[in-house]
């Protein structure tokens, strides 16, 4: 199955979409197995665009065959032992095999392999079949997914499982085309991965690792997110995929990018396709010219696209940097900065509740950011943050009734960045001292003990020390004085305060007896 998308420390996979309707020409059928038509020709037989310079293509069948053979031989020797690979290899039922691949592919999007392993193992133990997942509640899905991030992935995965069970007779679509057409949240990459690994379809895939490998192997230096580059990368992936072992080939390409052809410090000496890599050839040529005190000829001369600037070569404004070597490729895609949002949130606590201290969590709406997850009561704020104290108190009282406003203390601020949002939390605390403990809560709210808190579907921002670690210098619930601070980290905190130690202990995951 599919591999982490990037090397250790940078395993975030990125799908690359392709534009439709561009004229293409196929290589001979001896170079690759023709794939079924559909999805506006996305999974056509191996294709090359007539306008692309041969420098960015593979010359002939022999070169394609050499690339496949070298990569697969390396993969057979060096592939990592991962639970989803073991499961896919051992499972004979095609629907269960495709489901196992599907779960891993969704979890691995934007998430490192090391993080996914435990989540994947627990998921498959709890819901080993599509039918099991389809019968689960969204609350259960969110609970297991909590901490993995990008929570809509889990929700869409369950929606897809229900569609397969309720509308498709419990059988997964068998081709990349129908997978993408019929299953919610399944894009071109995921469809190709499932089809190739589970069903043996010769469908190429392009994720962040494959982008890096192909950009270096064929010296593609233009923005990978551009239409021209995206089309060429998908064309190359389809050209190269081995029709005899498509699933292994796709996993091998991703494995190469994850472990050898990494974002930084790639291990070129260990690369099985080094002799076919144009980026490496460029480095060697540069080194040779330096040793002979001769200027190196630029890539554009080898590309020779004609009078116009090649759409796949680096732009003139981004010349080759000799100090970067092969990491000149791929060019870093331009990204919009995340938009900034602000909210006020409060740790409302009953320190003397029966059975131990309890904190109030409320459930977010079933759509939008962190849909359906549980959090401390919060209100959105304007950037100025004006009137946040009053707005937050009103929100708290809507859940818990009349509260002592004078005890609402501002503790500090925490910044948590999601994929597209930079969210600043203004963190407050309020303890219900000397009041009759509340045992019930309004619909959509819960008073949770420590054990229940850890079992709840709580976001990383709430659960993993981004909010409650500000609750420093005090026993949980005492609220004696407030302390403004930013999030403490292991690098800037010399020694946790006594109150922090108590708080960390309160929220520390429980260990089984």
Distance CA 265, CA 324 (A): 9
Max distance between CA atoms of the chain, in angstroms, equals: 86
| Burial class of 54 by CB neighbour count within 10 A (0 to 12, 13 to 18, 19+) | exposed
Distance CA 483, CA 3 (A): 44
| 3-state class (DSSP) for residue 437 | coil
Q: Are 431 and 479 in contact (CB under 8 A)?
A: yes
Residue tagged 């080898």 (tokens): 302
Distance CA 156, CA 105 (A): 13
Termini Cα distance of the chain: 35
Q: Are 37 and 43 in contact (CB under 8 A)?
A: yes
Residues annotated as part of the active site: 105
If DSSP states are collapsed to H, E and C, what string results for 162-184?
HHHHHHCCCCCCCCHHHHHHHCC
Q: Are 234 and 24 in contact (CB under 8 A)?
A: no
Residue tagged 């929606």 (tokens): 159
Q: Around Cβ 61, how many Cβ atoms within 10 Å?
A: 13
Distance CA 237, CA 245 (A): 14
| Both tokens assigned to 94 | 């095609």
Q: Are 155 and 367 in contact (CB under 8 A)?
A: no
* Cis before 332? omega within 30: no
Distance CA 309, CA 302 (A): 13
Distance CA 423, CA 389 (A): 18
Axis-axis angle for helices 188-199, 246-259 (nearest 10): 120
The residues facing 239 across adjacent strands are none
């Amino acid at each position: 199955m599919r591999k982490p998308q990037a090397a250790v420390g940078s395993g975030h996979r990125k799908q690359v979409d392709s534009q439709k309707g561009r004229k293409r020409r196929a290589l001979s059928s001896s170079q690759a197995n023709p794939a079924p038509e559909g999805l506006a020709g996305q999974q056509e037989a191996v294709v090359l665009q007539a306008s692309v310079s041969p420098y960015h293509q593979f010359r002939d069948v022999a070169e394609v065959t050499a690339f496949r053979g070298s990569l697969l031989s390396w993969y057979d020797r060096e592939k990592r032992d991962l639970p989803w690979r073991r499961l896919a290899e051992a499972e004979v039922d095609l629907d269960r095999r495709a489901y196992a691949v599907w779960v891993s592919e969704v979890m691995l999007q934007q998430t490192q392999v090391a993080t996914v392993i435990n989540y994947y193992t627990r998921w498959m133990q709890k819901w080993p079949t599509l039918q099991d997942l389809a019968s689960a509640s969204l609350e259960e899905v969110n609970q297991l997914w909590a901490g993995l991030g990008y929570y809509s992935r889990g929700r869409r995965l369950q929606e897809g499982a229900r569609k397969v069970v309720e509308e498709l007779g419990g059988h997964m679509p068998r081709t990349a085309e129908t997978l993408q057409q019929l299953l919610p949240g399944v894009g071109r990459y995921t469809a190709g991965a499932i089809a190739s690994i589970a069903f043996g379809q010769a469908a190429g895939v392009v994720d962040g690792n494959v982008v890096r490998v192909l950009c270096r192997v064929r010296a593609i230096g233009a923005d990978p997110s551009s239409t021209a580059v995206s089309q060429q990368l998908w064309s190359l992936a389809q050209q190269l995929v081995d029709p005899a072992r498509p699933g292994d080939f796709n996993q091998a390409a991703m494995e190469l990018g994850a472990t050898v052809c990494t974002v930084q410090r790639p291990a070129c000496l260990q690369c099985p396709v080094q002799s076919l890599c144009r980026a490496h050839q460029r480095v060697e040529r540069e080194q040779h010219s330096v040793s002979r005190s001769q200027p190196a000829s630029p890539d554009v001369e080898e590309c020779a696209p004609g009078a116009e600037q090649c759409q796949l070569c680096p732009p003139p404004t981004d010349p080759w940097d000799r100090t970067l070597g092969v990491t000149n490729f791929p060019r870093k895609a331009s990204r919009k900065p995340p938009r900034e949002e602000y909210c006020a949130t409060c740790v409302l606590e009953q320190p003397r509740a029966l059975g131990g201290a309890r904190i109030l969590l409320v459930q977010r709406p079933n759509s939008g950011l962190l849909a359906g997850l549980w959090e401390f009561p919060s209100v959105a704020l304007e950037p100025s943050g004006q009137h946040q104290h009053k707005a937050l108190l009103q929100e708290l009282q809507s859940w818990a009734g009349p509260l002592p406003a004078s005890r609402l203390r501002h503790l500090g601020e925490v910044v948590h960045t999601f994929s597209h949002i930079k969210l600043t939390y203004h963190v407050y605390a309020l303890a219900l001292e000397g009041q009759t403990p509340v045992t019930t809560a309004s619909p959509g709210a819960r008073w949770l003990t420590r054990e229940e808190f850890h079992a709840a579907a709580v976001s990383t921002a709430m659960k993993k020390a981004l909010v409650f670690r500000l609750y420093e210098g005090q026993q949980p619930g005492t609220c004696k004085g407030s302390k403004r601070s930013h999030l403490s980290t292991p690098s800037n905190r010399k020694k946790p305060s006594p109150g922090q130690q108590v708080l960390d202990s309160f929220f520390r995951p429980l260990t089984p007896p």
